[in-house]
Amino acid sequence: MKAVIFCGGVGTRLWPMSRENFPKQFLLMIGNKSIFRQTIERVLKGFEPEDTFVSTGAEFARYVIEQAPEIPQKNIILEPVRRDSLGAVGYATAYVHHYFPHTVMAAIWGADHLVDNVDMFHKALRVAGKVAGEERVICKVDTRPIYPSTDNGWVEIGKPIKKVDGLQIYEFIRFVEKPNLEVAKQLFRSFEYLVNVGYMAWNTDVMLSLYKRYQPQVYTSLQKIEQSMGTDQEQEVLAKEYPGIEKDSIDYGIFEKLKPSDMRVIPTDLGWRDIGTWDLLYNGMSRDSTDNVVQADAHIVDTKGSLIWGNGKRLIGVVGVEDLIVVDTNDALLICSRGRSGDVKNLLKLLKDQGKKEVL
C-alpha cells in the first residue's frame, strides 16, 4: 500500500496566522514541529519513505523538501495550479497508478490534524487497505465525535458487515456536510454518525474508474497527463491539461454520487483533532480553569471561554470578555466571536476585493 498525504490547502480559516504563501500546515503552531512534520513522522511509523507520497501545490514544494527530507523528491506530486480536491485526488491517483499499477492507495488528509493513537491509525489504515483491495470499494476510517462539531462533515453508517483483524466494518449510508449546531447536537447523540476525518483507501484503478463514470472530462485530462508521465512532454501536458480541470471538491464531484455499496466505513478512536479553524483548534486544545486557551504573551482578567493566540512579539491584554477569539500577528489582528471563525474566509474575500493582498 502507498500512502499519499494531501497538504495543498492554504488554510484561509486560520488567518492571520496562516497565509497564502505560508499556510498553516507548515507553521510552528503547536509544539516545536509543524503539523505537516508531525504528520510525516506519524505516517512514517507505518510506511517506508519510498512508499509515502505528498500531494501539494508547486508553490509549496520548498516547504515539503525542507520539512520532509526523507521523502524522495520523485514522490512529491506538485499541482501546477490549485483545482481543489477533485483535481488533487485525481492527479495523485493517476500518478501512483502510473508507477505502481493497480495498487492500493491510502489517502490521508492529515496536514492539519493531530492524532494521539498512532497505533490505531496504522491498524485502521491497514484494514481499510485490505477491505479496499479485496472488495474493490472505497474504505473510510472515521472517528467517534467528542463534541457536536459544526466545522466538520459527518458520515452516517448502517449495519455492521464483518470484522477484519478485530475492527468492525460498517455499511456506508451517506455524507452529511457541515451541519448547524442543532443538527450537530442530534448527530452527536446518535451512535450512527461519525466525524468524517478524511482517511480512506482505494485501488487506484477503482478510483480512476469512478472519475471515468462521474467526471468524464476530468478523466480525459487525467489520462492525457498520465500518458505523458516519464516523458519529455510531461510538464507541458500537465501545464496544459490541469488548469482546465473543474475546480470542485471530490466530495461533491465523486463521493456524493456513489451508492452505499461503493463504500465501507471503519469507526475508530484515534484521539483525532482537527485544527482547520480557530474554533476547531480551541476545541482540540487543553483549557485552563476558566476554559481559556492561551498561546501568547498575554495577561487576562475576568475572561473565560476564549482563545488568545499570538506570536510573542507584543503583550496582549484581555479584560472582561467571554467566548472570544483574539489572534495577533506582526501585521494583522483578528477578533471574532467563538463559534464564528469559519466565517474568517468571508473576511478574507472582503480584504481581497479591497486589494489588501499584502495581508493575505
What is the full DSSP assignment across 245-308?
A: S----HHHHTGGGS-GGGEEEEEE---EEE-SSHHHHHHHS---TTS-EEESSEEEES-BS-EE
Confidence category of residue 284, pLDDT binned at 50, 70, 90: confident
What's the pLDDT at 273?
86
d(CA 306, CA 293): 6
Mean pLDDT over residues 199-217, rounded?
A: 97
- Residue with more model confidence, 104 or 113: 104
What Å distances lie between residue 284 and 78, 146, 147, 258, 280, CA to CA?
A: 30, 10, 10, 32, 6
Share of the chain above pLDDT 70, in %: 100
Confidence category of residue 72, pLDDT binned at 50, 70, 90: very high
| Domains of the chain (ranges, CATH numbers) | 2-276 (3.90.550.10), 279-359 (no CATH)
pLDDT at 51 over 90: yes
pLDDT at 112 over 80: no
User: What is the model's pTM?
Assistant: 0.91
pLDDT at 154 over 80: yes
What letter would DSSP give residue 322? B
What Å distances lie between residue 1 and 27, 48, 56, 92, 146, CA to CA?
A: 29, 10, 20, 14, 30
d(CA 114, CA 36): 10
